[in-house]
Amino acid sequence: MTEQSYDGLKATSVRHLPDHVGETVLVQGWLYNMRSKGKLHFLLVRDGTGIVQSVVLRANVDEAMFEDCKRLTQESSLRIIGRVKADERAPGGVELEVEKVAILHVAAQDYPIGKKEHGPDFLLGQRHLWLRSRKQAAIMRIRDEVIRAIRGFFHERDFFCVDSPIFTPAACEGTTTLFGVDYFDEQKAYLTQSGQLYGEASAMALGKVYVFGPTFRAEKSKTRRHLTEFWMVEPEAAFYDLDDVMQLAEDFVSRIVGRVLENCRAELAELERDTSKLEPAAKGPYPRMTYDEAVAYLHANGHADFPYGDDFGAPHETALGAAFDRPVMVHRWPAEIKAFYMKRDPSNPKLALGVDMIASEGYGEIIGGAQREDDLGALEERIAEHELPRESFEWFLDLRRFGSVPHGGFGLGLERTLAWICGVDHLRECIPFPRMLHRIYP
Ligand code: 4AD
Ligand code: MG
């Protein structure tokens, strides 16, 4: 690994400083905060991996350098050379005894994000700077850990990563949330709502696959749980039935939660996440109930007026999620409210072999999945019933013409999962640059 060096020293990440106690190191970052007291400056320096208190003692540095530090403003960029000292009271357990400060840039005085509270609209307009705040950076580091856990999990289980197209000729998840794009010669294309259909084709080529990429939904409602652009990871496996899909979903989510608990303690603490509420989800089994059982539970627990056959709204998901200390999987849904590609339950054709995973603590649905319709005739009927343009789906029907097998998979929403793990109310803080009904800036 090549690291940047300066003055003959290689740069050390703040998060690795505890491994260098007693050594002189180079830290490169930005000033988060500063206090001065007579012969001392206390610089709080962040480098993206953490924050370290750096103590500049007048006696330890040259006079001009000590004076120069007085010019420093929040977000000024600097290089610090100093000795790492263990200090139990310091965040991260270490402090720097500064030997040299090199100022790269003194930031303008009027950094828009102060220490006081700001409203969400203001902060979203400053997202390019807001990302530097401790909480936002902690969420982004957890996002990275979740992505690593996702890729590692599938790699270990012999799922191949395939990439599906963003421009697609037709809908996957209903026509009401499609984003249309002009695509040469008056042809219409749509931004993908889900990579699933291409995942199915790839699973017939490679056995077990996952698609992981951005997906788009023209959601016209302003809610805490909807973005117009979000990331979805979608495993798809040949020879899987609904039970296999549910087992995979449970193993997958418990692994992700386990990895975050293991590797992101400091970030979860920064977010003041009550990890005792998360710990049960790091282990299976997750409770499973049919849609019918879920409706009976709602009827008996404060939602007596819920109409059988409807999709669950946020209050219903919250009630179901609150019933357990870990995510719950609801399976076998009324076919009318589910997508065209779901296989019907052979023991009751009114039901679709779909599954939703609902997170605990009111975070709602994080996974939607199903066993797929693998019979050519049945799928042709569904496409007609849903009034989908048959010619756009010929290739999808081919998968049922040439070596059709039972198969299934699911889609996990990355930002929904992250919001739950981080204990953050709103999805907009769970993606670097959120896209919503009224926001595409910055
Ligand atoms: O339940 P959905 O619509 O399922 C599918 O798209 C399937 N084709 C997936 C598959 O079987 N391969 O979406 C899956 C997940 C949801 O459970 C939710 O976590 C997330 O994607 N999601 C959204 N996240 C943020 N903003 C939105 N507008 C979302 N819509 C769905
Ligand atoms: Mg869904």
Q: Mind listing the pLDDT tens digit for each residue in 208-224?
A: 999 999 999 998 888 89
CA 217 / ligand 1 centre spacing (Å): 9
Closest ligand to Cα 413 = 1
SS3 63: helix
| Binding site membership of 230 for ligand 1 (Cβ less than 6 Å) | yes
Closest CA to 409 of 291, 279, 215, 244: 244
pTM, to two decimals: 0.97
| Binding site membership of 211 for ligand 1 (Cβ less than 6 Å) | no
| Binding site membership of 227 for ligand 1 (Cβ less than 6 Å) | yes
Closest ligand to Cα 363 = 1
Which of the four pLDDT bands, split at 50, 70 and 90, describes residue 425? Answer: very high
pLDDT at 221: 82
CA 418 / ligand 1 centre spacing (Å): 14
Which atom of ligand 1 approaches the CA of 366 most closely? Answer: 19
Question: Which range among 67-81, 170-184, 248-262 shows the weakest confidence by mean pLDDT?
Answer: 170-184
As to burial, measured by CB atoms within 10 angstroms (0-12 exposed, 13-18 middle, 19+ buried), residue 244 is: middle
| Binding site membership of 372 for ligand 1 (Cβ less than 6 Å) | no
Ligand 1 atom 24 nearest Cα: 413
pLDDT at 81: 98
Distance of alpha carbon 318 from alpha carbon 403, whole angstroms: 42
Closest CA to 408 of 205, 241, 284: 241
Q: Mind listing the pLDDT tens digit for each residue in 274-299?
A: 999 999 999 999 999 999 999 999 99
CA 65 / ligand 2 centre spacing (Å): 59
| Binding site membership of 235 for ligand 1 (Cβ less than 6 Å) | no
Distance of alpha carbon 42 from alpha carbon 326, whole angstroms: 43
Among 210, 230, 246, 329, the mutation site with the greatest number of ligand 1 atoms within 8 A of its Cβ is: 230
- What's the length of the chain? 442
Mean pLDDT of 166-185: 91
Residues 6+ apart with CB under 8 A from 208: 157, 158, 159, 160, 235, 236, 237, 238
Is pLDDT above 90 for 171?
no
Which atom of ligand 1 approaches the CA of 219 most closely? Answer: 28
Q: Which position has the higher pLDDT, 193 or 92? A: 193
Which of the four pLDDT bands, split at 50, 70 and 90, describes residue 35? Answer: very high
| Binding site membership of 364 for ligand 1 (Cβ less than 6 Å) | no
In 10 A of CB 425, how many CB atoms? 12
Is pLDDT above 70 for 2?
no
Mean pLDDT of 2-16: 88
pLDDT at 292: 98
CA 137 / ligand 1 centre spacing (Å): 25
Question: Which range among 2-16, 189-203, 231-245 shows the weakest confidence by mean pLDDT?
Answer: 2-16
What the block records as the tokens of 49 is 């991996």
Beta-carbon-side half-sphere exposure of residue 187 (alpha carbons within 13 Å): 9
| Binding site membership of 409 for ligand 1 (Cβ less than 6 Å) | yes
Per-residue CA distances from 52 to 12, 33, 244 (Å): 12, 11, 47
Closest CA to 284 of 320, 237, 329: 329
pLDDT at 90: 86
Distance of alpha carbon 394 from alpha carbon 379, whole angstroms: 11
Q: Mind listing the pLDDT tens digit for each residue in 297-307?
A: 999 999 999 99
Which atom of ligand 1 approaches the CA of 217 most closely? Answer: 28
Mean pLDDT of 196-210: 98
CA 218 / ligand 2 centre spacing (Å): 15
Give the sign of the dihedral formed by CA 77, CA 83, CA 89, CA 93.
Answer: positive
Which of the four pLDDT bands, split at 50, 70 and 90, describes residue 1? Answer: very low
Mean pLDDT for the chain overall: 96
Q: Mind listing the pLDDT tens digit for each residue in 383-415?
A: 999 999 999 999 999 999 999 999 999 999 999
What the block records as the tokens of 327 is 């995510």
| Binding site membership of 325 for ligand 1 (Cβ less than 6 Å) | no
Closest CA to 272 of 427, 134, 148: 134
| Binding site membership of 226 for ligand 1 (Cβ less than 6 Å) | yes
CA 169 / ligand 1 centre spacing (Å): 19
| Binding site membership of 428 for ligand 1 (Cβ less than 6 Å) | no
Mean pLDDT of 89-117: 92
Which of the four pLDDT bands, split at 50, 70 and 90, describes residue 117? Answer: confident
